[in-house]
Chain A
């Protein structure tokens, strides 16, 4: 009796903590969405009246929309590539011991240590002067993959450590091919790490600004657009875009998880 009430209390405490945590994460987002309906062009308090003007402005500005699609394209490609590269590198780092592992471990987190400005400028010199290749969204993706892969590698490695290998061995004993072992045993077990890594890569890439500027061809991305308004300032047009993007992601996510859970129910 005593135990269950105590468990209940712990449960309630953690729930409250969780809700507070989400509030902390979401309060600024709600506020910035709120500003997209505010007449004030400074994107801040006080509230000076309701308007949909910023949404009209947004749809009238093809370049902002283009910049947004460029950002999204780069972020999706970056997260795909860096997740694959980072995940397959995590296996030897977690499971094998070999010479120079110490040195490699430090090399692999070096891109996190060097500020983006230096990475961006060195890549610009490398692509433009040394290799003489045209800058494009592809060179941006390369730049982003360089600095996001270490994040993926580290998360997946952390996940793989203390991984229960008996399961893999059991699968092999039961006659599973290495591929099937990976597909049905290993991957489901490491997938939270892979998902976390992919989310990191996507998020970091979406907001990256300085490496992008130095490695991009005749295009712009959304962060470049935002930072380029230094002289006269950004308008809540960007808040409107952020609001739509946020709503869109929520919608897609909920649909995705809803169908997933429906399918799970159908199977059981």
Chain B
């Protein structure tokens, strides 16, 4: 938002004294660009999702390395972007985001591209995670890769026969009021794009978008509800209220844990949507070095393996896979595609559709009822 940028700079000029003070503080804390992520100590501010660390992890890193992470939790990419636009690196040092949201942060000049080689821990990553095209720029890599998951269609085989392999199953009139979906307008429109054969589900042409909108309109009688949180899909599948739902990896186990029936999930043959998320360092981050040092510790295989056990979706740390094998989690890790990161690149990656307004209005109109 350019106008705030201007008024903000204007204000900064007025408070030059305070600005100088801050500058002095940042010089004192030894903040200089470049250099390896190493031994900085102190605290830093991290805007993230609740599944990007495991209980006890932040306490342990604070105790061992004197690096205190202060997490501020968010739920939607757009909200985090808006907040970083406004407060900048002075108040937020590191921020998590999904695949194609990351380049938006870069275009908005909110993040500092990284050199992964500065992070010794990055050697533990699958090599393909070091060279995502959409995160590669001339200035560096835009985010430190963390986890990923395709959105699958979960179904109850007792009611949904024969085993489906296509998005088309959702439109079967047998499943009136038997489907639940997450309420994320871009993603729902992208599902519809996948189903109707759009080339780029997040960047559809007028014609494709019109088709996707009609598809969603036609689907409405089958949709029982849009969910606020993923756990709702698990609950609804477990008590057989719904027979089909869109879900991240791992739904089978989670429904079984909830005392529910056998559930299967598939990736539709027309392709699907998925997320790849990572950590970004804010531009001019006040505690840049601390955040980088934290990343180097927090991304270690031991923690990533722990994170997999806790949340059950694949991550990009290759060494963690070996640890999982050793700990006897190989079967689950394989089932959750941990060792097949190349699948991540076949997904349509989550992001804001470039045609923001058209997508949102299409979604609002199709769901108005």
Contacts and interface: CB of A to CB of B under 8 A. Distances in A.
Direct contact of A and B (CB under 8 A): yes
Interface of A: 39-48, 57, 60-64, 67, 121, 124-125, 128-132, 134-135, 213-214, 216-220, 224-225, 227-234
B55 A63 contact: yes
Question: Is the contact region of chain A dominated by helix, strand, or loop, or is it mixed?
Answer: loop
A124 B86 contact: yes
Nearest to A131: B11
Given A57-B55, A129-B8, A230-B49, A213 B258 contact: no
15 contacts: A48-B258, A61-B55, A129-B86, A131-B11, A132-B8, A132-B15, A213-B79, A214-B82, A217-B91, A218-B92, A219-B70, A227-B73, A227-B228, A230-B228, A231-B51
Contacts of A233: 229-232, 234, 254
A46 B92 CA distance: 42
Name, among A60, A64, A214, A218, the residue most crowded by chain B CB atoms within 10 Å (CB to CB): A218
Interface residues of B, number: 54
A222 to B, nearest CB: 10
B248 interface: yes
Contacts, number: 150
A61 B49 CA distance: 15
Contacts of B137: none
A217 B182 CA distance: 28
B84 to A, nearest CB: 10
Nearest to B79: A213
Contact of B72 (A44, A62, A219): A219
Interface string B228-255: 1111101100110000000010100011
B87 interface: yes
Contacts of A43: 231, 235
A42 B231 contact: yes
Enumerate the 10 nearest inter-chain pairs by beta-carbon distance, A residue then B residue, closest first. A233-B231, A228-B73, A42-B258, A218-B70, A218-B45, A48-B259, A228-B50, A61-B55, A128-B86, A129-B4
Nearest to A41: B257
Interface in B92-106: 92
